[in-house]
Structure 1
């Protein structure tokens, strides 16, 4: 993903799911809201973080491997997605898609979920 985890982040967890056609990279950490938004903006999505529509995709079972609930199953989660090659992000030429989910845990802390393939 070529993403630098913020120095202030806690509960950093990551994994790679090896698949025959494409690997899936997972990363999660807890930080403050401002830093979470800055991480999302650094991905250069076409649209800012937003709530999913009324029919979110069915939850995957990827983050369960990290001991976390899937972000799509959480109320209030915001997300953004980006195709790095489509936006000319030369830092991330190894992945075709990155999705970020941001979930406020309590006042002052936010969990960031990143998934890339």
Structure 2
């Protein structure tokens, strides 16, 4: 087992813990969360797909439709969301450009969503969708210098019909 493979479970555990930490604070009334020291998380005003795309270093395909994005501002790590619809080949190309160590794979549907982030965009959480494929990557861990400021990026692909796929991308 190489060093990178040995670190993968630890990185996934840390990433999952970070997401749970970001979303487990007490609610402040629907638009944010309050931390134990009183600071609140909230959705960035006037921050959407362009800001999320720029942070993730993900170019929106020219064929993208139904483009949506948001930034959740948090006391420790901001969460960037991006979603769009495109053709299957382009969607897979976006996933491959993230350089995940493992290829896209079907996610177990019985996994509960640890967050309700994409609901802010009017979308169901990708983990709740049947047949969704996903991959995740720690860009610095795989030497992706384009995304050295991104700690974790996860992509989900959901085939909508024979010609289109919804892409969900989440990063922090």
| Structure-2-length-normalised TM-score | 0.66
Which runs of 5 or more structure 2 residues have no equivalent in the other structure?
1-55
For residue 27 of structure 2, what is the aligned residue in structure 1? Answer: none
Deviation at 1:55, TM superposition (A): 4.6
CA distance in 2 between counterparts of 1:80 and 1:62 reads 18
- Mapping 1:7-46, distance limit 5 Å: 7-46=62-101
Question: Contact between 2:155 and 2:169, CA under 8 Å: does it hold in 1?
Answer: yes
**Cα separation, 1, equivalents of 2:139 and 2:103:** 15
- C-alpha separation between the residues in 1 aligned to 2:83 and 2:148? 21
**Which structure dedicates a bigger proportion of its chain to helix?**
2
Provide the aligned C-alpha RMSD in A.
1.1
Counting matched residue pairs gives: 117
Higher relative CO (CA 8 A, sep ≥ 6), structure 1 or 2? 1
Q: Structure 1 CA distance, aligned partners of 2:119 and 2:83?
A: 11
Looking at structure 2, the residues matched to 57 and 74 of structure 1 have their Cα atoms a distance apart, in angstroms, of: 11
| Counterpart pick for 1:103 among 146, 150, 158 | 158
CA distance, structure 2, for counterparts of residue 20 and residue 99 of structure 1: 21
Runs of 4+ in 1 over 2 A off after TM superposition: 53-59
Tell me the residue number matched to 1:66. 121
Distance 1:54 1:35 in 2: 24
Residues 59-98 of structure 1 mapped to structure 2, 5 A cutoff? 59-98=114-153
Q: Where does structure 1 lack aligned partners over 5 or more consecutive residues?
A: none
